[in-house]
């Protein structure tokens, strides 16, 4: 009998790590949005030097949670404090397993006293829906999943469009859109602005450094809203660039957010076993892939905690019990890995790229620009001599910084400025992933650097998860 759920699929495979490392899902795709509207280099440059329009409509799940106990329910599911979380506010929502391992994250908006909207990747939405389905909470959920990665001509429809206008000249565009100066909106607060003839919600937010506004509304208004934004850029005399999926996927490198940690859900009894039985064989968790040089027989070695990802200060220690609280209390004062940026050595990088231009020779793993990630979650070993001291977890090239960067975690003993060695490529010639050609491994020197890497992000996000210490 074919497996009916994730639990049965993992039991049939016999080895969770091998199952994920050899997944046939292919490259992670940012759907619908064109790869480039001009070229990805100028699109990257624009969020630092002029203004950009990000189309965030298609690549994220949207989950509505509403009902009399919505706030209590979400406070129970996530680590975050909900104190002073009023209407028209947003926060970075992070749930963990009972063992304290990160499942994922989403941005959560409070639209009403009894209604919240969560936007982000599938693992967190799956976990929230499971908790609602099996708990005794007076809440209901509605899910609008991300657009198909490969729609093959099928019509695409979302509940909402979602745009972000960002960059040093963004305010000029916003003023033209609004028909006058936009009122001050505090960071992660929501207010209403004008976009042509429409009133839309706007969140003060930013992704690559310079703050901007994220706006959303009914999907049927998308074409009109986009045209007004683009015309506002022209009228304001701003070089407003639409950002394609190639550049979009790299903006986090400069701002320091690791977007795709492996959900820590593949082990554990009780609630965790029930969850894996609830998840289908077509779920993100069942089909997602692991890539990179780090290989362990223990899937838990791929898990992360809020402290490692810089989310420790979110934890609502004073609130009544929430999932994972006891485990996090036990971890709180213990040594932990820390999040850093790795700056790759350009000579070593060129050696890897050059191998693809030597006929008849062995090649190193292909490095695609601007983003060489070839799995849902990446894990490349980082070494100090013969000692394994860290993991590189999300890679990409920044035209703004003129270098290859990656985000990851290192042991507490590693210092900023240390030069370490990243092992690029998979052992034994590579796995059976469709995104992995036969190759040999290479050593690339990396310098441990600040997170966020971009000074603009460090300064503009001075009081956020990007810079605050757990």
Instruction: Please give the Cα distance from 457 to 407 (Å, whole number).
Output: 15
Task: Please give the pLDDT value at position 370.
Answer: 97
Looking at beta carbons, which pairs linking 183-188 to residues 24 or more positions away fall under 8 Å? 185/213, 187/211, 187/463, 187/464, 188/89, 188/90, 188/91
pLDDT category of residue 309 using cuts at 50, 70 and 90: very high
Average pLDDT over residues 377-402: 97
Alpha-carbon gap, residue 192 to 202, rounded angstroms? 6
pTM as predicted: 0.95
Whether 44 shows a pLDDT value over 60: the answer reads yes
Q: What is the pLDDT of residue 28?
A: 85
Query: Mean pLDDT over residues 179-194, rounded?
Result: 95
Which of 370, 43, 431 lies closest to 239 in space, CA to CA?
A: 43
Beta bridge partners of 80: 315
Q: Six-digit token pair at 361?
A: 């020779």
Q: Is 139 helix (H, G, I), strand (E, B) or coil?
A: coil
408: Cβ contacts below 8 Å, ≥ 6 apart:
258, 339, 340, 342, 380, 382, 390, 391, 392, 393, 394
| pLDDT tens digit sequence for 423-442 | 999 999 999 999 999 999 99
Q: Among 249, 265, 253, which residue's Cα sits nearest to residue 299?
A: 265
Confidence check: pLDDT of 469 > 70:
no
Mean pLDDT of 366-395: 97
338-460: CATH superfamily: Aminomethyltransferase beta-barrel domains (2.40.30.110)
- Per-residue pLDDT at 78 exceeds 60: yes
CB atoms within 10 A of CB 148: 13
Identify the band that residue 454 occupies on the pLDDT scale cut at 50, 70 and 90: confident
Residue 6 vs residues 19, 262, 290: alpha-carbon distances, Å:
11, 15, 16
- Residue 462: its pLDDT value, please? 43
Q: Thinking of the domain 40-59+151-255, which architecture would CATH place it in?
A: 2-Layer Sandwich (3.30)
Q: What is the mean pLDDT of residues 360-371?
A: 93
Residue 291 CA, distance from chain mean position: 16
What is the Cα–Cα distance from 396 to 5, expressed in whole angstroms? Answer: 34
- Of the chain, the percentage scoring pLDDT greater than 70 comes to 95
pLDDT, residue 460, reads 57
Query: How far apart, in Å, are the Cα atoms of 144 and each of 57, 114, 117, 154, 409?
Result: 11, 19, 11, 17, 32
pLDDT tops 50 at residue 414: yes
Q: Is the pLDDT of residue 239 over 50?
A: yes
Q: How far apart are CA 343 and CA 396, in angstroms?
A: 10
Element (H, E) at 456: helix 455-460
Q: Of all helices (H) and strands (E), which one includes residue 198?
A: strand 198-205
Phi, psi of 381 (to 5 degrees): -65, 140
Q: Indicate whether 43 pLDDT > 80.
A: yes
Cα–Cα distance between 377 and 309 in angstroms, integer?
Answer: 14
Q: Nearest to residue 395, comparing CAs of 290, 249, 244?
A: 249
- The torsion angle over the Cα atoms of residues 334, 337, 338 and 341, rounded to 10 degrees, is 180
List Cα–Cα distances, 197 to 218, 224, 420, in angstroms. Answer: 14, 10, 55
Q: Return the pLDDT at 282.
A: 96
The reported pLDDT for the residue numbered 468 is: 54
On average, the pLDDT of the chain sits at: 94
Q: Which has the closest alpha carbon to 222: 162, 144, 176, 170?
A: 162
pLDDT single digits (tens) 249-277: 999 998 899 999 999 999 999 999 999 99
Q: What are phi and psi of 361, to 5 degrees?
A: -95, 170
Give the start-to-end residue ranges of the domains of the chain: 40-59+151-255, 338-460
Tell me whether the omega of the peptide bond preceding residue 416 falls within 30 degrees of 0, making it cis: no
Q: 161-176: per-residue pLDDT in tens?
A: 999 999 999 999 999 9
Mean pLDDT for the stretch of residues 104-118 = 97
Q: What was the pLDDT predicted at 1? A: 87
176 in Cβ contact with 190 (< 8 Å):
no
CA distance linking residue 194 with residue 206, whole number of Å:
19
pLDDT category, 465, cuts 50, 70, 90?
Answer: very low
Instruction: Check residue 209 and give its pLDDT.
Output: 55
pLDDT band at residue 466 using 50, 70 and 90 as cut-offs:
very low
User: Please, are residues 293 and 446 in contact by the beta-carbon 8 Å criterion?
Assistant: no
Over range 118-134, report the average pLDDT.
Answer: 97
Rg over alpha carbons for the chain, rounded to the nearest Å, is: 22
Q: What is the mean pLDDT of residues 136-144?
A: 97
């Amino acid at each position: 009998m074919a497996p009916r759920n994730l639990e049965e699929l993992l039991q049939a495979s016999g080895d969770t790590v091998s199952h994920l490392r050899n997944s046939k899902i292919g490259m992670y795709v940012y759907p619908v949005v064109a790869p480039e509207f001009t070229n990805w280099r100028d699109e990257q440059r624009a969020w630092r030097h002029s203004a950009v329009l990000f189309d965030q409509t298609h690549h994220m799940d949207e989950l509505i949670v509403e009902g009399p106990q919505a706030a209590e329910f979400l406070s129970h599911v996530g680590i975050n404090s909900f104190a002073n979380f009023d209407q028209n506010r947003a926060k970075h929502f992070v749930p963990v397993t009972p063992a304290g391992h990160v499942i994922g994250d989403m941005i959560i908006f409070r639209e009403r006293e009894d209604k919240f909207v969560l936007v982000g990747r599938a693992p967190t939405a799956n976990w929230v829906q499971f908790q609602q389905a099996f708990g005794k909470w007076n809440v209901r959920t509605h899910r609008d999943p991300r657009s198909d990665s490969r729609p093959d001509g099928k019509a695409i429809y979302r509940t909402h469009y979602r745009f972000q206008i960002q960059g040093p000249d963004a305010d000029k565009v916003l003023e033209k859109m609004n028909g006058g100066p936009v009122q001050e909106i505090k960071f992660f607060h929501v207010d209403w602005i004008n976009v042509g003839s429409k009133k839309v919600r706007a969140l003060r937010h930013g992704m690559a450094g310079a703050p901007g506004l994220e706006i959303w509304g009914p999907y049927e208004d998308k074409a009109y809203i986009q045209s007004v934004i683009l015309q506002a850029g022209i009228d304001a005399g701003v070089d407003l660039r639409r950002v394609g999926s190639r550049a979009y996927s790299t903006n986090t490198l400069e701002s320091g957010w690791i977007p795709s940690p492996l959900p820590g859900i593949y082990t554990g009894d009780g609630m965790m076993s029930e969850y894996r039985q609830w998840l289908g064989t077509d779920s993100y968790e069942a089909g997602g892939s692991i890539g990179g040089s780090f290989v362990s027989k223990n899937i838990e070695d791929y898990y992360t905690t809020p402290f490692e990802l810089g989310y420790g200060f979110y934890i609502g220690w004073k609130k009544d019990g929430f999932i994972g609280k006891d485990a996090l209390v036990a971890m709180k004062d213990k040594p932990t890995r820390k999040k850093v940026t790795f700056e790759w050595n350009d000579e070593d990088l060129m050696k890897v790229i050059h191998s693809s231009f030597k006929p008849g020779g062995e090649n190193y793993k292909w490095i695609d620009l601007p983003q060489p990630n070839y799995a849902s979650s990446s894990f490349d070993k980082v070494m100090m001599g013969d000692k394994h001291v860290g993991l590189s977890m999300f890679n990409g090239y920044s035209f703004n910084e003129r270098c290859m960067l990656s985000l990851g975690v290192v042991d507490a003993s590693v210092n900023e400025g240390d030069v370490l060695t990243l092992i690029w490529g998979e052992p034994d010639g590579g796995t059976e992933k469709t995104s992995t050609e036969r190759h040999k491994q290479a050593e690339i020197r990396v310098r441990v650097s600040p997170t966020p890497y971009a000074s603009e992000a460090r300064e503009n996000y001075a009081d956020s998860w990007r810079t605050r210490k757990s």
